[in-house]
Amino acid sequence: MTWMRPPADAHPTDTVDLRFVLNGRPVTRSVPAARRLVDLLREDLGLTGTKLGCGIGVCGLCSVLVDGAVMTACLLPVTAIADATVLTIEGLAGPDGELTAVQRAFTEHGGFQCGICTPGQVMAATALLAEDPHPDEGSIRDFLVGNLCRCTGYAGIVASVEAAAADERRS
């Protein structure tokens, strides 16, 4: 354990000067420390693809990737993403609008019904395939357990993730 003196500038502030990388682009912004990532994304930056559902970490609508790991934007104060890399649903498609294999699979295999859970499902599925390129159905269901679909369209979602895993065009 390091028993160093704290840096001299470590004093409490109500507002933090935040730097992070969002969907591949650097962002610098002064934000209240008590603001949630989901509010920063949706209200301050206009990225409304990330949805806000339960607000207590259960539903998965606000799933985003932070440094590649799927996390819960309603439970992350903005201070948790300082100097980190954040990826939202808006950051998946290529510059020419080309969808990722996961996005294509969701459109082709009935991976959504009303659509409100879809951004979170797609982000979680993207994280799963990055760490386990060929998951079986049990692994898919285990990983997506925190992403609820109240249309109960789970069969289509699982089929979509399986199709994405089998997509040879996946980069």
Partner 1 sequence: MKPYAYVEPGTVSGVIEVLVGHAGRAHLLAGGTALVVLLQQGFVEADLVVGLRPRGALAELAGIRREADGGLHLGALTTIRAVERDPRVQAALPALAQAAARVASPRIRNQATLGGLLAHADPAADITPVLLVLDATVEVAGPAGARRLAVADLARDVFETVLGTDELLVGVHVPPVAPSARIASVAFRPRTSEDYATVSVAVRLDRDAGGTVTEARIALGSVAGTAVRARAAEAALIGGQADATAIEAASRLVDEAISPDDDTRGSAAYKGRMARVWTARALAQAAASRDGLAA
Binding window for partner 1 (CB under 8 A); candidates: 18-26, 120-128, 150-158, 163-171: 120-128
Told to check if 147 binds partner 1 by CB under 8 A, we report yes
Q: Of 80, 88, 69, 77, whose CA–CA distance to 23 is shortest?
A: 88
Question: Which residues from 32-51 bind partner 1, rule CB under 8 A?
Answer: 32-36
Max CA pair span of the chain: 57
Question: Which residues from 60-119 bind partner 1, rule CB under 8 A?
Answer: 60, 63, 66, 69-72, 74-77, 79-80, 82-83
CA dist., res. 51 & res. 60, Å (int): 9
What is the closest distance, in whole angstroms, from the C-beta atom of residue 158 to partner 1 in the complex?
Answer: 15
Binding-site member from 93, 114, 130, 145 for partner 1 (CB under 8 A):
145
DSSP 95: T
Binding mask 15-34 for partner 1 (x = CB under 8 A): -x---------------xxx
Q: For residues 167 and 105, is the Cβ–Cβ distance under 8 A?
A: yes
* Size of the chain in residues: 171
Taking residue 133's Cβ as centre, other Cβ atoms within 10 Å add up to 10
- Name the residues that contact partner 1, by CB under 8 A: 1-7, 10-14, 16, 32-36, 55-58, 60, 63, 66, 69-72, 74-77, 79-80, 82-83, 124, 127-128, 142-143, 145-147
